[in-house]
């Protein structure tokens, strides 16, 4: 018996050590609401960000002492910040003097309460992943509690830009079920993009997936939309679930590229709610601060009407965010006419929808699939979704973005129906509880 207590103590020590090790590392706490191109680091600008519903800013175009100022201001105003430094390049690690500088930078900022992560790169080719992986690994060794941020290309990047299958034509399966609408028409793009995501996840070992996709264009005959938006959402959604990683969608809120049109408030809402319905854990508006020629939220320092529109939508996201952080996306369904790479509600959806163009995003919590978001895919008009539920018997509840809480709707059972009124591009979150 004299050996029992030492053994127990040893096991306890091992357990505690493992717990401490497991506790390290970045874990997302809040649904991310951020922007590309943050404003100059002033107290007034940071207050406005917090007021407008943003909870993450960045130091992408900030340098020198202003990077520390930004962290201080973010902390003061209750938001977080990404940090960037010109030293954050893979070849810095090959120069002992430069490596010592990067060590000093990390040691200087890693304990700031407002620090969320380190910005590294935008839209790299897969050819750059091995070197970036080396940099990410080093940053995580120096600071395991903050993530390394890399933003990825969208699906419309060509094979050369993605940097995949450089030694031959892609032959891998498209990794989408055959009952996804029109997947074969985009077979090459899906194969290449799946490979891009696979290499990114396997080599970089990221803690969050971020990508951008811009789809609103102007045309001589009227406005047009890019066809691959929902395909991109679905491919990233599936990759994130497989890797057990959160993902973030960077969406269009400017006219920086001449063919782009400036989204209306309905279209901005459409971007936000489609992102949430597909299970994202963050959204970034492109872009916030820039010259007049970029057509963003602030132009030459002047606030544009679109900034107020985005701020209003941010309040919905801010209300829904805490609930969405508890949920895991399971399947996403659409009603006809189906966008490319989407699944029809007739293919096993426990929530059927008629009466318009809708997205039904299904979610589970603690292994129970009882929550769904219905989103109006029509950004031009109000729609009424006529829903038929097959989620068992219980109490149907809706999350009120105005009251920031769940409210009772009615008692339901399999086969029960409900009409849901939705504004253009809007959505609502429901759950059935016993």
What per-residue confidence (pLDDT) applies to 14?
A: 43
What are the extents of the domains in the chain? 28-324, 328-433
What per-residue confidence (pLDDT) applies to 171?
A: 84
What per-residue confidence (pLDDT) applies to 9?
A: 42
Intervals of the chain under pLDDT 70: 1-24, 61-64
What per-residue confidence (pLDDT) applies to 382?
A: 98
pTM, 2 dp: 0.94
8 Å CB contact between 132 and 150: yes
What per-residue confidence (pLDDT) applies to 172?
A: 81
pLDDT mean across residues, the chain: 93
Helix axes 229-243, 265-277, angle to 10 degrees: 30
| CATH, domain range 28-324 | 3.20.20.80
Query: What's the pLDDT tens digit per position in 166-181?
Result: 888 888 888 999 999 9
What per-residue confidence (pLDDT) applies to 393?
A: 97
Query: What's the pLDDT tens digit per position in 43-98?
Result: 999 999 999 999 999 877 666 677 889 999 999 999 999 999 999 999 999 999 99
- Max Cα separation, the chain? 88
Whether the domain at 28-324 and the domain at 328-433 fall into the same CATH topology: no
| CATH, domain range 328-433 | 2.60.40
What per-residue confidence (pLDDT) applies to 380?
A: 98
């Amino acid at each position: 018996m004299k050996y029992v207590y030492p053994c127990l103590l040893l096991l306890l020590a091992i357990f505690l050590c493992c717990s401490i090790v497991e506790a390290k590392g970045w874990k997302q706490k809040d649904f991310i609401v951020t922007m590309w191109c943050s404003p100059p680091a002033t107290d007034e600008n940071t207050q406005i960000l917090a007021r407008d519903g943003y909870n993450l800013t960045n130091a992408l175009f900030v340098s020198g002492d202003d990077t520390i100022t930004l962290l201080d201001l973010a902390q003061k105003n209750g938001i977080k910040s990404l940090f960037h430094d010109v030293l954050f390049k893979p070849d810095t690690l090959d120069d002992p003097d430069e490596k010592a500088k990067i060590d000093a930078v990390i040691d200087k900022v890693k304990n700031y309460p407002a620090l969320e992560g380190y910005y590294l790169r935008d839209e790299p080719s897969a050819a750059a992943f091995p070197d970036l992986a080396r940099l990410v690994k080093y940053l995580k060794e120096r600071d395991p509690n903050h993530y390394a941020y890399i933003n990825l290309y969208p699906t419309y990047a060509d094979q050369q830009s993605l940097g995949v299958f450089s030694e031959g034509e892609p032959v891998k399966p498209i990794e989408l079920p055959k009952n996804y609408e029109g997947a074969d028409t985009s077979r090459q793009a899906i194969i290449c993009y799946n490979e891009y995501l696979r290499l990114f996840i396997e080599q970089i070992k990221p803690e969050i997936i971020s990508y951008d996709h811009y789809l609103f264009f102007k045309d001589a005959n009227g406005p047009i939309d890019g066809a691959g938006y929902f395909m991109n959402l679905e491919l990233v959604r599936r990759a994130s679930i497989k890797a057990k990683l959160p993902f973030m969608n960077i969406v269009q809120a400017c006219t920086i590229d001449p063919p782009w049109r400036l989204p209306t408030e309905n279209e901005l809402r459409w971007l936000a709610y489609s992102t949430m319905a597909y299970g994202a854990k963050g959204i970034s508006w492109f872009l916030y601060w820039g010259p007049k020629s970029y057509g963003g939220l602030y132009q030459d320092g002047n606030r544009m009407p679109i900034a107020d529109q985005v701020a209003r939508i941010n309040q919905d996201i801010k209300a829904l965010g805490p609930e969405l952080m508890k949920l895991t996306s399971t399947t996403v369904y659409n009603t006809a006419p189906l966008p490319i790479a989407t699944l029809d509600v007739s293919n096993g959806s426990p929530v059927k929808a008629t009466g318009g163009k809708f997205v039904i995003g299904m979610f589970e919590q603690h292994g129970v699939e009882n929550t769904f978001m219905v989103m109006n895919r029509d950004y031009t008009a109000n729609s009424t979704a006529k829903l038929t539920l097959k989620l068992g018997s219980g109490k149907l509840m809706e999350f009120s973005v105005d009251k920031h809480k769940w409210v009772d709707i009615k008692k339901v059972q399999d086969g029960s129906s409900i009409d849901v009124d939705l504004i253009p591009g809007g959505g609502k979150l429901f759950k059935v509880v016993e």
